[in-house]
Amino acid sequence: MIRITILACVVGLCACQAAARPDTVTVDEIVARHIEAIGGEEAIRNLQNLVFGGGLYEEEGYSSDGNATMSLGRPFFKLVGDKTSGYAEGYDGAAWEWFENPGIVVRTVGKASEAIRHYAGVESPLLDYREKGSSARLIGETELDARAVFVIQLERRDGFIEQFYIDKNNYLINASGREAPIHAFGDSVTRLNRISDYRTVGGVQIAHHFESVEMPSGKPLSSMQWGSIKANQELPADWFSPPEFERTPLQTFIEQLYGQRSDIAAVMWTYHEFRRANPEIDISDPVNMAAFQILKMGDVDNAIALLEQNAKDYPDSANTRFGLGRAYQTAKRLEDAKTEFLAALNADPDHARSKAALEALLKKN
């Protein structure tokens, strides 16, 4: 059972009643004890990288094969996934995503960038938090899973707010809390992320298990269990960067659409010129891919304009009509979204994503 009785209403963490503000300890004292508890500042600074393997990720309706991977590196690097497996994402000073099919690299911004950059690097975000441009304050004491915890709220330089639940006995982080969408186009929910299974890696206590639940309901959202974590491995210089490859004209075209996403006139010019020069190439799915990425970056109107043209040129493509429907749904144009999902099912009665999207739309409305 979770009992949350803290001053956490600023991010919606079920603030039932105010917890007593502790008068005998400061936020910096708690942070110092936490750093010492996980191994000490010297051991942390000796970590050059961490390589995670054997990860079993689970969420409702999905379970991975137990071979998930992730790498973190000093000073701010991150790689999620295997660049040879079809999809990977990372941070090498800027966030990126790699899609083997159709073979493109996109540099992400907005929420997608935020999700990857906040947990890049090997250090706890609480270590040297002021130097990192963050501010921290102690907002209370409470109980989490029958254990007494301090609650520290950390606000990063970009305004991202997160809460850390630090065990009053061992000073390990038992959980963190934040508000974030479940998926790229999902509604934001308040998450509590339980953190456990600490093991010594490179002289530092590193958690191996993470479980995310929705608050205040406690509904399970996802979990990750790492099989192994290794420290200070020999990694190639380009380990944290996207793969290098020779692009085909179609792959170049997709990246050009994405790269010009804030200028719809430029996007549409590129679209029409490529289609005119290459009439034999079916670009419906690649354009859907580019528009999906544009939509993720928050350029909703421009994504819709591109998808509307795509649907006009490929009206019998279920994928194209579904893509436009998803964009309309993101823009809260629900009747238009319904029309497109129905059009997709008319083109392909077995189109699973359209079926699921339409059912969810009708259920919600």
Outline where the chain has alpha helix (H).
27-37, 41-46, 110-117, 249-259, 264-277, 284-296, 300-313, 318-330, 334-347, 352-364
* 310 and 318 Cβ atoms separated by less than 8 Å: no
What are the chain's domains?
9-231 (2.50.20.10), 249-364 (1.25.40.10)
Distance CA 298, CA 103 (A): 22
User: What pLDDT is attached to residue 1?
Assistant: 34
Residue 50 forms beta bridges with which residues? 72, 231
Give the pLDDT means over successive 10-residue stretches in the chain (365 positions).
36 38 81 98 97 95 92 97 91 94 89 90 95 95 94 95 96 88 55 96 98 89 96 96 93 95 96 96 95 93 97 97 96 96 96 93 83
Q: State residue 51 phi and psi, 5-degree precision.
A: -115, 115
User: What pLDDT is attached to residue 60?
Assistant: 85
Outline where 160-211 has alpha helix (H).
none
* 69 and 233 Cβ atoms separated by less than 8 Å: no
User: What pLDDT is attached to residue 138?
Assistant: 96
